[in-house]
Amino acid sequence: MVKVVQEQWDLQRIFWRENQQDDLKEYWLTVVTYGMTSSAYNAVRALIQCAREAEQEFPNAAKAIMEDFYMDDCTTGADSEEQAIELSKDINHVLRGAGFELRKWKSNSRALVKDMNYEEQESILFEDDEKASILGLKWLLEKDQFTFVVKTPAIEQAMTKRSVVSSVAQLYDPNGFIAPVTIIGKIIIQDIWRLNVGWDETLPREIYERWREFWQEITFLENVRIQRWIGTSKEIHQELHGFSDASERAYGAAIYVRTICANGRISASLLTAKTRVAPLKTVTIPRLELAAAELLGRLVASVIKTMEWAGVEYELWSDSLVALHWINKLPYNLKTFVANRVASIQTNTEVKRWRHVRTQDNPADLLSRGIKPSALVNNNLWLHGPEWLTKPRWS
């Protein structure tokens, strides 16, 4: 449906004939064709142009088209059922005017699905690849929760580096909901890398046993439940609380949304998390703690920008007094490794936002050491942060 200007037709000139006896015929492809390097850009750019031309008449629909599409999939929402239905109709109207017809509407609103003439479903499965055979993020529409569907292959007797890397790579977790579990897989991959074995060589027994112990529990992830709605709205006060931690093997950061309703009810929900394995070259724990804090700084800046929460209150927590001491110093007084990370932290966050937290109250501790899938189910520290986040403001 995306036309190419005539001056560019020569870039899509092809020769064709039905059989070898026919003469070659010369054709121009006059529309955007899948498979070219520029195809994805041209298709998305046409979508954005469509939104820009309708921005004055349909501002909310245009904003959703420009900001909430990933290629040809739109994920957006509204504060009420009525607003959601109106938004879906406007988006549909704008795009249909440009020849784009939206299909396969899914929602936790039965009224919206019925209004858009689609059948109700109990859940939606999100995957990074339609051919993924291991794990996908699943939205339970009725309960409005995220969970995971796991289709694990049998553990082979002779595991290889290729099979382990393939399995871990297919764990689809875009928001880091199961990051304390996936970090174990990443650590095992790093240990395999240290052995310098070939892609299809059989792994040593010790690595195999660690992998088997980890992977045989992976189906427990189907019992993990994450509330999709984090309790935020224009009428509800919200804060961000980020936590970072490091060990000799890994480091990570997690962010929680703390909401306070008008009636005084307080809740806290996991929003996103990220992990990194520690470098192969030995780095001291204080420096890894600083690296975790720097990761948290970049993550909270990204969340504030993505969620359009300019001016939101936030506090960042670390259990490392050394890292907190560095963060409060001027970078030019520090050595290069520390100075670079402190500079990044001070650029992305305000120094006064950093606080000290006890290790036992730090959910990022689960990211740095990893936990088994069975231990993640109903883990309140991970899903909702430390208990005091849901209490009235501490002194």
Q: pLDDT for 91-129, tens place per residue?
A: 999 999 888 988 888 888 888 888 888 777 777 777 555
Tens of pLDDT, residues 277-306: 999 999 999 999 999 999 999 999 999 998
For residue 143, the tally of other CB atoms under 10 A from its CB is 14
Structure tokens at 35: 């498979």
Q: Give the residue from 80, 115, 150 where a domain finishes.
A: 115
Q: Pick the range with the lowest mean pLDDT from 121-125, 151-155, 202-206.
A: 151-155
Is the pLDDT score of 136 beyond 80? no
pTM of the model: 0.86
- Considering the domain boundaries, does residue 261 fall inside one? no
Is the pLDDT score of 50 beyond 60? yes
Residue 257: strand pairing partners: 240, 269
- Considering the domain boundaries, does residue 336 fall inside one? no
Q: Does 71 lie in the same domain as 131?
A: no
C-alpha distance from residue 27 to each of 10, 11, 16, 17, 334 (Å):
9, 11, 7, 10, 65
Distance CA 171, CA 174 (A): 9
Query: What is the tally of structural domains in the chain?
Result: 2
- Considering the domain boundaries, does residue 319 fall inside one? no
- Considering the domain boundaries, does residue 60 fall inside one? yes
Q: Does 131 lie in the same domain as 111?
A: no
Residue 37 lies in domain = 32-115
Rounded to the nearest integer, the mean pLDDT of the chain is 90
Is the pLDDT score of 179 beyond 90? yes
Q: Give the residue from 115, 136, 155 where a domain finishes.
A: 115
Q: Give the residue from 223, 255, 281 where a domain finishes.
A: 223
Q: Does 133 lie in the same domain as 167?
A: yes
Phi-psi region of 231 (alpha: psi -120 to 50; beta: other; left: phi over 0): left
Q: Does 100 lie in the same domain as 142?
A: no
